Amino acid sequence: MQSFSLKPRLQVRYNDSFWVCRCRQIDNRWQFTNENGEVWVITEKQFYQLYDRRELFVDLEQPYLGMVPEVTNAPRDLSTFAPSQVDEARRRQHYLAGLLTTDGDLPPKIEIPGRITKIAQAISDQKRPPSVATICRWVLAYRVTRCVVRLVPGHWLKGRKAVIEGEIEGMLLDVVNEEYLKPEAIPVAKVWWEFKGRIDLHNRSAAPSRQLTLPSRSSVYRYVDRLDPYLVDRARLGKRVADLNSRVAATEMQVRQILDRWEIDHTPLDVLVVDPETGKVIGRPYLTVVLDRASRMVMAFLIHLGAPNTESVLRVIDRAIRPKHEWLSHHPKVINVWPARGLPLLLMPDNAAEFHAGNVYLAFDDLGIELMFPRTRAPQMKGAVERFFHTLNVDLIHCLPGTTFSNVKERGDYPSEKFACLTLHDLEALILKWIVDGYHQRPHRGLKNKTPTEVWVIGEKERTIHLPADLDSLECILAMRDQKVLQHYGVDFPGLRYNMPELGPLRQRLAPGEKVDVRYRDELGHIWIYNKFRKLFLKVPCTNKDAIGMSRDIYEQARKIAREAGRDADSFDVVHQTYQQIMADVEVAKQSNRLRQRRNAAKIEIDKEGQPKPKAPASNHLAGIARTALPSFELDAGDIAGFDVDTDN
């Protein structure tokens, strides 16, 4: 997948004109010019907002686009050889440097011996000068690449021929698997004697030509010593001990720059949320967080009521890659900037099922992101995000009305259901403000008392941040995947159809019953269908315009209600009618909820002994929350929506 960085010479398309980035001005604004010589000056925030809204597009044909970085390797160099081999390679290079012309040709054959003698005297060669045939052999290896490594003697390729191989090796492996790789941890000596006995037994009945030569005892010991230590420990000591013994490969990895490694995890939040219409408690939401390990910068988060799944993972990764300026524009109370953006090199999830789904593997392969799964029962390998959850709970979640705390002992007699008043939208706004204006601005002990924002700003100077050049391509990659049969009316989802004229020629070229690849997101307005003949994805709209902007999860819930009522759940009109009935029930529930609140306010609470229990005003309770909730920054009265509840509730 192609990516770009905001830097000089970047070409973009905006308002039907092509603009070229010229420079960054002193005031940190970016200057662009078009083919007519017009100048356009824009801030970085405005640039990323236009990019996120798909009003500004990166020119995919320009030569200044970067590719998603991948892990590469390189051949060994001269310093990896023994000193004696290096000296010999340099000696040979001296001879060839004095013999070869600039075109890489040797002089006439009659002149070569004399020139070899002169070179040997010039370099004071203590060895016998090479012959003409030897020089020709060196030239064949050296002339094309002029790489001195090609002149290193091939002694490192030499070695002792394997004594244990073929049928003998198979017999020894049988003994190792049956005797040595067992929890009883028998010594290698028993392996040797058992192996010797099997060789003797085989030779007694085998023909002279089939006799096997018994390797020496030391050869067997060396063979067993070269076995994979992890496999040996796993068989003899158990998987957990083997994982602990091999943990150095994972825990020693140093994260030096931003975007080197992201950590992602889910957690149920210790707070109850309510329905925005009825005010009824609807449960505890889940929080999915992506954290940059080097800077401790929160790259993105997602709050959802459903259990974590593949779609929630893909959605939060999409948020993490994109700039956050457009997201923050919907939350004007957030004061500071949120500079998190870019494609990472490595992502460390946990071992949950949603991270092992095929959609996740394919998406991260397309983006060039490597997945590194931690060992089971090893949360310390994602210590940064685990610590973030603890900080979030202590600083914010456990100070909100309706918190359930982390356990029953901490909760005590606190009536979580009674004081719950936050909706999902309110909770997202609070967490967003706490992250951007609080957590990111607070000195972090793991960052040598620097703030995550400071570390990120410094890191931007050391690493070039790459972003997807095409957001439509990013949407296709980070989408749910399915295969559907293309009919004359398009693609059929339950209760919805997607079609466009361009699907007609595609269907005619497909074999009967052949399926097409379909990508879809939570939004019902469109899907993506792959045209294998044109080698691209087509954005196919929903034939029912009323579905534009609707959530797929909400639509599925409406279908479920219609199905339970015995109605046709595949009809959009029926589902829409069900939705209207739900809204009417919501209005009734609102009135019932208000009546219930008034009745509860008129009641006198009775304690366990049957005596009236004094009650503290809710305003005092909420005032205490406001004083202790967020010590790192201040919230105004409008930041916590729903706090103006009845005093009796």
pLDDT tens-digit readout, 63-72: 767 654 444 4
What confidence score (pLDDT) does residue 358 get? 67
pLDDT per position as a tens digit, 406-415 = 765 566 666 6
pLDDT in tens, 448-468: 889 999 999 999 988 889 888
- Look at residues 287, 294, 307 and name the one whose alpha carbon lies nearest to residue 263: 294
User: Mean of the pLDDT values across residues 567-571?
Assistant: 66
162-213 per-position pLDDT tens digit = 778 778 888 888 888 888 888 888 888 998 999 999 999 999 988 888 888 8
Predicted confidence at residue 340, as pLDDT, reads: 93
Q: Report DSSP letters for 149-181, one per residue.
A: GGGS-GGGG--PPPSS-HHHHHHHHHHIIIIIS
Task: Check: CB of residue 264 under 8 Å from CB of residue 228.
Answer: no
For 458, other C-beta atoms within 10 Å of its C-beta total: 13
Q: What is the pLDDT of residue 457?
A: 93
Please, what sign has the CA dihedral across residues 483, 488, 494, 495?
A: positive
β-bridge partners, 177:
none
- In a 10 Å sphere around its CB, with 0-12 CB exposed, 13-18 middle and 19+ buried, how is residue 468 labelled? buried
User: Over the Cα atoms of the chain, what is R_g?
Assistant: 35
21 pLDDT higher than 50: yes
Q: Which residues pair with 12 in a beta bridge?
A: 19, 58
Assess whether pLDDT exceeds 70 at residue 641: no
pLDDT number for residue 107: 85
Lowest mean pLDDT among 18-22, 432-436, 614-618: 614-618
pTM of the model: 0.56
The sign one gets for the Cα dihedral 71, 75, 81, 86 is negative
pLDDT at residue 224 tops 50: yes
What tokens does 619 get? 């305003």
| pLDDT band at residue 416 using 50, 70 and 90 as cut-offs | confident
Q: What is the pLDDT of residue 619?
A: 35
pLDDT for res 470: 84
Q: Determine the Cα–Cα distance for residues 319 and 300; give it in Å rounded to an integer.
A: 6
The overall average pLDDT reported for the chain is 78
Q: What is the mean pLDDT of residues 136-148?
A: 79
Q: What percent of the chain has pLDDT over 70?
A: 76
Mean pLDDT across 522-535 = 85
Q: Quickly state the pLDDT bin for 649 (edges 50, 70, 90).
A: very low
Give the largest Cα separation in the chain, rounded: 121
Above 90 in pLDDT, residue 381? no
Residue 365 above 70 pLDDT? yes
Express as a percent the part of the chain with pLDDT over 90: 15
**Residue 603 clears pLDDT 60, i.e. is over it:** no
Point out the least confidently predicted range of 346-350, 533-537, 601-605: 601-605
Q: Could you tell me the CA-to-CA distances from 355 to 251, 266, 289, 350 in Å, in that order?
A: 21, 11, 14, 7
Name the strand (E) or helix (H) holding 573: helix 572-602
Q: What is the tens place of the pLDDT at every residue in 96-130?
A: 888 887 777 888 888 888 888 888 888 888 888 88
Both structure tokens of 86: 């290096």
User: Which pLDDT does position 599 carry in this prediction?
Assistant: 44
Give the DSSP letter string of 538-550.
Answer: EEEEBS-GGGTT-
Separation CA 279–CA 641 (nearest Å)? 12
Model confidence at 444: pLDDT above 60: yes
Q: Is the pLDDT of residue 583 over 70?
A: no
Tens digits of residue pLDDT in 263-294: 998 889 988 888 777 778 878 889 999 999 99
- The closest of 73, 84, 204 to 153, measured between CA atoms, is 84
